[in-house]
C-alpha cells in the first residue's frame, strides 16, 4: 500500500474486521482483532500490505462454552504482528472450530511455517493449506499426542482468562483471590 495508514483500527473496521484499541502498557499490543475462521487469510494479507511482520503464532485452550457456542472446540489461535518503523503491535485471535482446522498463512508470512507446525504439535490444530505440516517437535509416531491439551475439569473459560476492562486493578480472578496493588 502506498499511502500511510495512521488509523489502523478505522482501516481494519472498514475492511470488515472487529478491531478494538487496547492499552499497550497493560497488554503489550495496541490493537486487538477478533477474527472469524474465514477472515484469517484476508487479515494476514492486509497486515502484510500495511507493513506488519509476524511476531508469533500460538494456541491456547479454554473450557468451551457449551450454552453459548457449540461450534468452537475450546482452542484458539493467537497471532501477533508488529512494525519495524514504529512501535505498533496487533494481536489477532481466532476461535478454532470443532473440526480443529483453520487456514494457514505460511504462504503470506513464511515465518508462520514453523509456528503453525509447533501449534499443531502442541494442540492438534490443523492449518489447512500448510505445505509441510509434519511434526516439528514431536516424533512422527506421536502425531496424535498433544502435550499442552489439558483435562477438561482443569480448564478456565475464555471469560476467566480475558481482561474485561481497561484497568488491571479491576480484573481480579473469579476465584475470589485478591491481587497485589
Q: What is the pLDDT of residues 153-162, one digit of tens each?
A: 777 777 676 6
Residue 81 bridge partners (DSSP): 54, 90
Taking the C-alpha atoms of residue 149 and residue 180, their distance in angstroms, rounded to an integer, is: 30
Least-confidence region, from 54-63, 89-98, 137-146, 158-167 = 158-167
pLDDT attached to residue 143 = 72
- Name the pTM for this structure: 0.81
What is the percent of the chain with per-residue pLDDT over 70, rounded to a whole number? 81
When pLDDT is cut at 50, 70 and 90, the band that residue 131 belongs to is: very high
Taking the C-alpha atoms of residue 106 and residue 80, their distance in angstroms, rounded to an integer, is: 14
Taking the C-alpha atoms of residue 71 and residue 139, their distance in angstroms, rounded to an integer, is: 31
When pLDDT is cut at 50, 70 and 90, the band that residue 180 belongs to is: very low
Phi/psi for 102 (5° steps) reads: -135, 160
Average pLDDT, the chain: 83
CATH superfamily of 8-168: NADH:ubiquinone oxidoreductase Nqo5 subunit (3.30.460.80)
pLDDT attached to residue 125 = 94
Taking the C-alpha atoms of residue 30 and residue 126, their distance in angstroms, rounded to an integer, is: 28
For the residues 72-98, what does the mean pLDDT come to? 92
Residue 137 bridge partners (DSSP): none
Statement: residue 126 has pLDDT above 80: yes
Contacts of 146 (CB under 8 A, 6+ apart): 121, 122, 123, 124
Q: Which three cell numbers stand for residue 115?
A: 509456528
pLDDT attached to residue 105 = 98
For the residues 89-117, what does the mean pLDDT come to? 95
Taking the C-alpha atoms of residue 154 and residue 169, their distance in angstroms, rounded to an integer, is: 25
When pLDDT is cut at 50, 70 and 90, the band that residue 179 belongs to is: very low
When pLDDT is cut at 50, 70 and 90, the band that residue 1 belongs to is: very low
Taking the C-alpha atoms of residue 99 and residue 97, their distance in angstroms, rounded to an integer, is: 5
Contact between residue 73 and residue 64 where contact means Cβ atoms under 8 Å apart: yes
Contacts of 130 (CB under 8 A, 6+ apart): 104, 106, 113, 116, 117, 120
Taking the C-alpha atoms of residue 139 and residue 99, their distance in angstroms, rounded to an integer, is: 23
Amino acid at each position: 500500500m502506498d499511502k500511510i495508514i495512521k488509523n489502523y483500527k478505522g482501516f481494519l473496521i472498514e475492511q470488515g474486521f472487529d478491531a478494538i484499541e487496547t492499552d499497550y502498557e497493560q497488554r503489550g499490543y495496541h490493537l486487538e482483532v477478533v477474527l472469524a475462521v474465514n477472515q484469517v487469510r484476508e487479515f494476514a494479507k492486509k497486515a502484510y500490505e500495511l507493513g506488519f511482520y509476524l511476531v508469533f503464532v500460538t494456541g491456547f485452550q479454554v473450557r468451551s462454552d457449551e450454552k453459548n457456542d457449540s461450534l468452537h472446540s475450546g482452542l484458539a489461535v493467537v497471532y501477533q504482528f508488529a512494525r519495524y518503523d514504529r512501535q505498533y503491535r496487533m494481536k489477532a485471535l481466532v476461535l478454532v472450530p470443532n473440526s480443529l482446522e483453520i487456514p494457514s498463512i505460511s504462504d503470506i508470512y513464511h515465518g508462520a511455517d514453523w509456528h503453525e507446525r509447533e501449534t499443531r504439535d502442541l494442540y492438534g490444530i490443523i492449518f489447512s493449506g500448510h505445505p509441510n505440516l509434519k511434526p516439528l517437535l514431536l516424533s512422527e509416531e506421536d502425531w496424535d499426542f498433544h502435550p499442552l491439551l489439558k483435562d477438561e475439569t482443569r480448564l478456565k473459560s475464555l471469560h476467566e482468562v480475558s481482561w474485561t476492562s481497561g484497568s488491571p486493578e479491576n480484573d481480579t480472578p473469579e476465584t475470589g483471590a485478591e491481587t497485589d496493588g
